Structure 1
Amino acid sequence: MDLQLKGKTAVVTGATRGIGRAIADLFAEEGANVAICARNADQVAETVAALKAKGVNAWGDVVDIADGPALKAFVTKAGETLGGIDILVSNASALVQGAREADWKAMFDIDLMGAVNAFEAAKPFLEMAAETRGDACMVITSSVSAAEATSASAYGAMKAAQIHYAKGLAKEGAAKHIRCNVVSPGTVFFEGGVWGNVKAGMPAFFDQMIKRNPTGRMATPEEVAAATVFLASPRSAFTTGINMLVDGAISARVNF
């Protein structure tokens, strides 16, 4: 299937490893130009070079997502450098599970306000893309933890807030053909990631989590990326305001 992404421009936050990197790679493989950001300069440079090697235009910069003005400046520069923004993917996360004040602040600043600030900066570019090409989209990476709770957690609560925010953006943007969707992964395994570290440090707990999933495994970043890129593409032009679970049926709830 041609996703009709060739020549479009995508901005992906937190895109040098794991899910974000897989998303950026897949956009490039589909012919889209890509702007990325992360905190490590060497990883940003390596990712940009790898994206360019796929035959597309790519640009990146070092950004602290919790710094709202810096994030907005990055998104604006991405749009100016690559000649517009058709797609925004808010993927960066603080990835903290606790309920201390510092945990709440990190999740609020990075996961929720990161999405809000990125969208506000991208909005003029998305409006222009929608007006000229008929479709523009934001996708937010949330989590199955948004609807699964065993204790008080900043992570789950802020992930749930992302889904609510996305639905509001979808309603507001529908008439202008600016869509907003959410992809909510379950457990995702890659070396150096959260579950990669759990496997290395707590193998018994890792095995327990594997057994919880009916598929008998965890997702790959590429599987989450496939859902994200499809939802972002013009092939999904009438899909907006949804929360797509990519969890291998680990959750029990019914998604009406």
Structure 2
Amino acid sequence: MDLGLKGLKAILVGANGGIGRQVAKVLAAEGADVAVCGRSQEKVDKVVGELSPSGGKVFAEAMDVTDPESVPGFVERAAEALGGCDIFISFTSTNLGVDSDEGWQAILDADIKPMRRGIAAAMPFLEKSSNGSIICMSSTGAVEEFMGVQPYNALKAAVMVYSSGLAQSLAPKGIRANCITPGPVMTDDGPWAYIKENMTDFYDATMAQIPTGRMTTGEELAKTIAFVASPACKAMTGANIVVDSGYTKRVQF
């Protein structure tokens, strides 16, 4: 199936590793022009090297996304370099794992605010696109209890509500907004690779709750995201898509 991604412009914030890196690779392989950013110049350079063989345009910068000016500036420069923006996704995330003012603020600064700022900066370009698409990234920690009282879980639930509101507000402009809610995802440079090697009891307990007996891979999740973001999925907006290999047990309706 042709997803219709060839020639589209995708701006990805926080895509120098993990899930974002995998999404960048899938979009580039489908013919999209891709812009990525992240904190580490070394990781950004690695992603550029992985995307370049696709033959499409690639734009990349290293930055601290907690700086209020960094993400809007990146989006504007990326849109200029690529020639617009059809797809916007923010992958930045952190979790101190503590229910404290510091824990809440860290997630707001590194996850929620960069997403909001990026969407706002991308809006003038998305409005000019005939295939405008926003993907908001949540977590299954937002839909079922996970690791006790966690500001991360609460704020990821807020992302779902925000995405739904965007979908209704932007539909008349022809811009779609959908939420992707992953469960545990295994990537070679992601947190679960570290957990597997260094927190074996927690890893084994998590695996025991996955009925398929395997974690979703980064590439599998990336393909789902690419489809939802693509013109092939143009009728879908306001949806929350859970991708978790059966990890969550709720009835999803």
- Return the letter of the residue paired with 2:232: R
How far apart, CA to CA, are the structure 2 residues paired with 1:205 and 1:51? 34
1:222 lines up with 2:225 in the alignment: no
- Return the letter of the residue paired with 1:237: K
Per-residue CA deviation, residues 120-175 of structure 1 (Å, 9 max, x unaligned), is 0000000011xxx3x21010121111111252211101111111111111001101
Tell me the SS of whatever aligns to 2:176.
strand
Equivalent in the alignment of 1:149: 145
- Return the letter of the residue paired with 1:146: A
How far apart, CA to CA, are the structure 2 residues paired with 1:51 and 1:193? 19
Equivalent in the alignment of 2:80: 80
How far apart, CA to CA, are the structure 2 residues paired with 1:91 and 1:156? 15
Equivalent in the alignment of 1:6: 6
Equivalent in the alignment of 2:134: 138
1:111–1:158: 8 Å Cα contact kept in structure 2? no
1:189 lines up with 2:186 in the alignment: yes
State TM-score, norm by structure 2.
0.96
1:245 lines up with 2:242 in the alignment: yes
- Return the letter of the residue paired with 1:33: D
Alignment of 1:96-107 (within 5 A): 96-107=96-107
Equivalent in the alignment of 2:200: 203
Alignment of 1:116-127 (within 5 A): 116-127=116-127
Q: CA RMSD in A?
A: 1.2
How far apart, CA to CA, are the structure 1 residues paired with 2:167 and 2:127? 13
Unpaired runs of at least 5, structure 2: none
Equivalent in the alignment of 2:89: 89
Deviation at 1:22, TM superposition (A): 0.4
Question: What is the count of residue pairs matched by the alignment?
Answer: 252
Structure 1 runs of 4+ with >4 Å offset: none
Equivalent in the alignment of 1:112: 112
How far apart, CA to CA, are the structure 2 residues paired with 1:196 and 1:49? 22
How far apart, CA to CA, are the structure 1 residues paired with 2:100 and 2:197? 26
2:95–2:103: 8 Å Cα contact kept in structure 1? no
State TM-score, norm by structure 1.
0.95
1:169 lines up with 2:166 in the alignment: yes
Per-residue CA deviation, residues 175-198 of structure 1 (Å, 9 max, x unaligned), is 111011111110112234211111
Unpaired runs of at least 5, structure 1: none
Deviation at 1:221, TM superposition (A): 0.6
How far apart, CA to CA, are the structure 1 residues paired with 2:189 and 2:226? 23
How far apart, CA to CA, are the structure 1 residues paired with 2:181 and 2:87? 18
Deviation at 1:11, TM superposition (A): 0.7
